[in-house]
Amino acid sequence: EAGVAQSPRYKIIEKRQSVAFWCNPISGHATLYWYQQILGQGPKLLIQFQNNGVVDDSQLPKDRFSAERLKGVDSTLKIQPAKLEDSAVYLCASGSGYRADTQYFGPGTRLTVL
Amino acid sequence: RKEVEQDPGPFNVPEGATVAFNCTYSNSASQSFFWYRQDCRKEPKLLMSVYSSGNEDGRFTAQLNRASQYISLLIRDSKLSDSATYLCVVSPPGYQLIWGAGTKLIIKP
């Protein structure tokens, strides 16, 4: 079974530029999560989708971050404009339910903002 | 107080030793608990769920103490390959999953 795919794996941009990340979840998984993991910290949930609807985006900085999941499959996360503090690994996970033991993570995108 | 707290470590442990970590949580209504493992520069992977009655999987034992609001992870006969960061995840009522910052474990030969 194919896992969660993410691209790109690495991205370096300058502050104030825009960047987008893509995630393809495991086939059939209705739940999709985007996490931000800053070095030395645990993952922080940015947004959670159930199919193409948003379940939780309470920690998404909506002035600069946006995410969509068209057709309830792939998802993109965008940052515009980027700030230095956005340097982190952005992890996508998908799941067949809401419990953490149904979550599977992709390899992540490591973003460096200069 | 943070919602989920872990000792960041690192715990430096000789191979073959037993090591235990705790993870405390603030919401007494939390319902589900999990331990994840994260290797350096890799994604987190589920290690085990934590049940009220405790849970054992080989050398790993997870326990829940609701009265004191913490979960624990015990690793027996530690191996070099156990070196990683161990993250606890707590699920309060609702959809949210709250992650701890992780405990770093280093197993030394």
Which residue in A44, A101, A106 is closest to B34 by CB distance?
A101
Name the phi and psi angles at B50, rounded to 5. -115, 115
pLDDT of residue A96: 83
To the nearest 10°, the Cα dihedral for A35, B7, B56, B60? 100
| B97, B98, B104, best to mutate vs chain A, most A CBs in 10 Å | B97
The predicted model gives A102-108 an average pLDDT of 91
**Considering only A22-26, A55-59, B62-66, which range has the smallest mean pLDDT?**
A55-59
**Considering only A63-77, A96-110, B15-29, B70-84, which range has the smallest mean pLDDT?**
A96-110
B45 and A105 in contact by Cβ < 8 A?
yes
**Residue B101 and residue B88: Cα distance in Å, rounded?**
8
Say if residues B60 and B10 touch (Cβ distance below 8 Å).
Answer: no
**Residue A47 and residue B75: Cα distance in Å, rounded?**
33
Cα B60 to chain center, whole Å? 10
A41 and B43 in contact by Cβ < 8 A?
no
pLDDT of residue A1: 63
Q: Chain A contacts of B32, Cβ < 8 Å?
A: 99-101
**Residues in Cβ contact with A88 at an 8 Å cutoff, skipping those fewer than 6 apart:** A36, A37, A38, A39, A111
Angle at B18 (CA atoms; ends B2, B34), nearest 5 degrees: 40
Name the phi and psi angles at B103, rounded to 5. -120, 125
pLDDT, tens only, A7-37: 999 999 999 999 999 999 999 898 999 999 9
CA distance A42 to chain B (A): 4
The predicted model gives B67-76 an average pLDDT of 96
Instruction: Answer whether residue B65 shows pLDDT above 70.
Output: yes
Q: Chain A contacts of B34, Cβ < 8 Å?
A: 100-101
B101 and A41 in contact by Cβ < 8 A?
yes
